[in-house]
Homo-oligomer: A and B are copies of this chain.
Amino acid sequence: MSAILPTSAEENYLKAIFKIAEKEPGPVLTNALAAEMGTSAASATDMLKRLSDKQLVAYEKYRGVTLSEAGSRLATSLIRKHRLWEVFLVDKLGFAWDEVHEFAEQLEHIQGENLTERLDDFLGHPRFDPHGDPIPDAKGRWQHRTQTRLLTLSPGQRGIVTGVDDHSPTFLQYLAEMGLSLGAELEVLERTAYDQSAKVRIGEREAVLSEKVGQNLFVRII
């Protein structure tokens, strides 16, 4: 029983199912999957049949889909590869954190013996990617970390930037311009009750961050 290799398209769907189920536990619905993949619902249904045939998901018509053990392992491995390649692109090739996603989206599908483990060695076994997302280890175990949205901090509280909940290049570029890279220290000085915007100190600078920013930026309180 030589488990045939999944195609890149299959891998991408598995990853999408994993990500949706992570935020919203329970079966993943066809429309949510299609939206995440940027395809039609009909295409998603097609793919779900293929993944079901390959035992990578448990799919019940009209009821949604969940990953099988094998599907979950594959999705986790894909996320591991994606994030390791992102570390490579930023740490070794010098790309900015908003430039690496599309590359990693391709690189995660490179197949072959030992590549991931050698890359991991070369990078020094990073535990988080350039966006602060955890990198599962070779056995699929996840790092756990307590982080909170900047929005929850009250005036006087300080934090270290640990991640983002919006990975769009525009948001990442905006953060970089504000000096809000991973590891940056900030302190909430004031919060406006009306719109939840916050005046913050970032290193030496002061700035006002909107509710939207507060919602999408993770910090560890110090």
Contacts and interface: CB of A to CB of B under 8 A. Distances in A.
Interface of A: 92-95, 99, 102-103, 106-107, 109-115, 118-119, 121-122
Contacts of A115: 93, 103
15 contacts: A92-B92, A92-B122, A93-B115, A93-B119, A93-B121, A93-B122, A94-B122, A95-B114, A95-B118, A99-B113, A103-B110, A106-B109, A106-B111, A107-B107, A107-B110
Given A92-B122, A94-B122, A106-B109, 19 more contacts: A92-B92, A93-B115, A93-B118, A93-B119, A93-B121, A93-B122, A94-B118, A94-B121, A95-B114, A95-B118, A99-B113, A102-B112, A103-B110, A103-B112, A103-B115, A106-B110, A106-B112, A107-B107, A107-B110
Nearest to A93: B118
